[in-house]
Chains A and B, each alone.
Chain A
Amino acid sequence: MLAQSLQSTIALMANRTFSESLVRFFNLVNTRQDDLMRALYEHVLLVAIPVGIAILIAIPLGILATRYKAVEIPALNLASIGQTIPSLALLALMIPIGLGIGRRPAYIALLIYAVLPILRNTFTGIAGVDASLKRAARGMGMTDMQMLRKVEMPLAFPIIMAGIRTSTVMIIGTAVLAAYIGGGGLGSFIVTGLGLVRDDLILLGAIPSALLAIFTDLILGRVEDWVTPRGLKV
């Protein structure tokens, strides 16, 4: 069904110019402003909630993984497996495993997806802190917590932040697919647009989500820069 609708959409669109589509898209932005805002808000939640929870899980887990081999291997492996499953498949999988459709299964699927970049960067960021710095820190009498707080976290933070950025931008894209399992968000315009063969509706989902990804990337890039300790920049 999806392939069919795509084919017909492409066939239709091939007959129009992109500028015509854009004009129709802007009209739609005007007439359906409320819908757009609601979908945008839903989309932001589809990103913020899974990424927020992923941060809360992945950073402590990443830290534990640097401390205990028994955590490192299963955690990093599970996260990579989660990442390997194609995103649409992962979303669809929520239905047969009994989570049904709607926002909640979408959040869960996206969360599974969001964890890996943050977990991996937390682990490599902390494990990558120079061994001699850790030796010096311990040799001066820091406890493990003090070393984490005063040395490892400040030095690893830009890398962890890069992981959060990667994860967030990636989830903005993946969240578009959440509409297929009734998760709402900007993807719902695209799904409907594909069904009705309305290019302006497709653009109503595609353009804002693309812009959202670009702006988020820019802003988080600035944050990354901002959390980089000054001593590493000079």
Chain B
Amino acid sequence: MVVFEDVTKIYDDETVAVDGLNLTVERGEFMVFIGPSGCGKTTTLQMINRLKEPTSGRILVNGEDTRDMKAVDLRRNMGYVIQEIALFPHMTVGQNISVVPDLLGWSQEEKLERARELLALVDLDPDVYMDRYPRELSGGQQQRIGVLRALAVDPDVLLMDEPFGGLDPLTRDQLHDELKILQDKVQKTIIFVTHDMDEALKLADRVTLMRDGKLVQVDSPEEILRNPNDEFVADFIGSERRLISPLDVLVREVMLEDIPKLGSDASLDDALSLMQEKKTDYIAVADGDDFKGMLSAHRLQELRLDTGPESSIGDAELITVTVDSRETMMTAVHRLAETEEHVLAVMNRKGKLVGAISRGWLPDILAKELWPKEAAGFETEES
């Protein structure tokens, strides 16, 4: 467990890198710190293993104030993985993995056995890789070793500073999956820094969003996606990600609000002209405030053939399937599918008609509102 209590870091040049941070990272939790470049993520991480000292406040690791520990002891019991990977080029894979065991004075056999065990954990054949040098490995393999090196003495806490930032997307994806599996096996408290929202959402139990050295939101990925605290968070997430599953969107956010209405005494022809005029494939039928149901274009076509264009709507069977405006689009879409209807009436909490969800319009809403092409997403550090 890692606890920040009022932690502030002001550099010599008076840059306030971290400003009054209060946060608890639970034991076994995968916590991802995210935010734009320069918001203080690295500084925060490096204060945990005391590569940087807080200007004020304190940090507790497993209940103990880090200042009361010797810095080297603290660090040896805490894995540290960085973007540059930084395997020691003059050491073999085995020696690199054994750096901390070596500092702790393990015997040769113990070190070797542990290195073999760890290599096997990420499906690297010890007989092949143990004596290789970092230069003989691909970037992805190197960072796998970087992670193993951090796990060598089975520390409780793992600090990772953009560990996959230098890898190509394919390798990064693969390492995400492996890290997830690894985390299931080793159950570490992981504090992971990134500026890549996809990475954060994929890996995190909880996400800590930072801006200008301050916490903006600390929540589960789902919660952040669904309820961004403010405009900054929403922007940071990017609209296309925010609606990662379009069916999670609430009906009221996307429903058709313009509902042509007719009384039940109107004729089918009137209904058709109104649809044509409003360019919709439905109308609502209501006598005053008394909502009778929806009439879809599809149904109208059938009725015109059956009873003739002059007959009034009043005699027709209307669509009375409704959906609450606070439900998700998933519910709405399922309801459309199950009832085989072409349109749903959207009712508010008080049972008043407030909108419609129409089958014919679904592709439009997907294209325009849920998966807009222009939503470029958060790609680079600077953006």
Contacts and interface: CB of A to CB of B under 8 A. Distances in A.
B73 interface: yes
A132 B80 CA distance: 12
A230 B103 contact: no
Contacts of B76: 140-141
Interface string A139-175: 1111100100011001100000000000000000000
Contacts of A155: 89-90
Contacts of B100: 140-141
A140 B75 contact: yes
Given A135-B82, A146-B103, A234-B133, A141 B88 contact: no
Given A146-B103, A231-B92, A132 B82 contact: yes
Given A130-B86, A231-B89, A136 B80 contact: yes
Most chain-B CB neighbours within 10 Å: which of A135, A136, A138, A142?
A: A136
Contacts of A230: 90, 133
A232 B92 CA distance: 11
A37 interface: no
A139 B103 contact: no
A141 B82 contact: no
B84 A139 contact: no
A151 B90 CA distance: 8
A133 interface: yes
Contacts of A136: 80, 82, 84, 86, 88
A229 interface: yes
A1 to B, nearest CB: 55
Contacts of B134: 231
B103 A141 contact: yes
Contacts of A132: 82, 84-86
B89 A141 contact: no
Interface string B70-84: 011111110010101
B265 interface: no
Nearest to B89: A231
Contacts of B89: 133, 155, 229, 231-232
Nearest to B133: A231
A130 B135 CA distance: 15
Interface bin, chain B: 20 to 34
B91 interface: yes
A135 B86 contact: yes
B182 interface: no
Given A231-B134, A234-B135, A234-B136, A140 B99 contact: yes
Contact of A231 (B74, B91, B99, B150): B91
A135 B133 CA distance: 20
A138 B133 contact: no
Interface in B11-60: 49, 51
Most chain-A CB neighbours within 10 Å: which of B71, B84, B100, B134?
A: B84
B73 A232 contact: no
B135 to A, nearest CB: 6
A140 B80 contact: yes
Contact of A154 (B49, B51, B84, B90): B90
B51 A143 contact: no
B59 to A, nearest CB: 15
A132 B74 CA distance: 19
Contacts of A130: 84, 86
A234 B100 CA distance: 25
B75 A138 contact: yes
Contacts of A231: 88-92, 133-135
Contacts of B85: 132
What 8 pairs between A and B have smallest CB-CB spacing? Answer: A229-B90, A132-B84, A141-B76, A141-B75, A231-B133, A136-B86, A139-B80, A132-B86
Given A141-B77, A155-B90, 20 more contacts: A130-B84, A132-B82, A132-B86, A133-B86, A133-B88, A135-B84, A136-B80, A136-B86, A139-B49, A139-B51, A139-B159, A140-B99, A142-B99, A146-B103, A151-B88, A229-B90, A230-B90, A231-B88, A231-B135, A234-B136
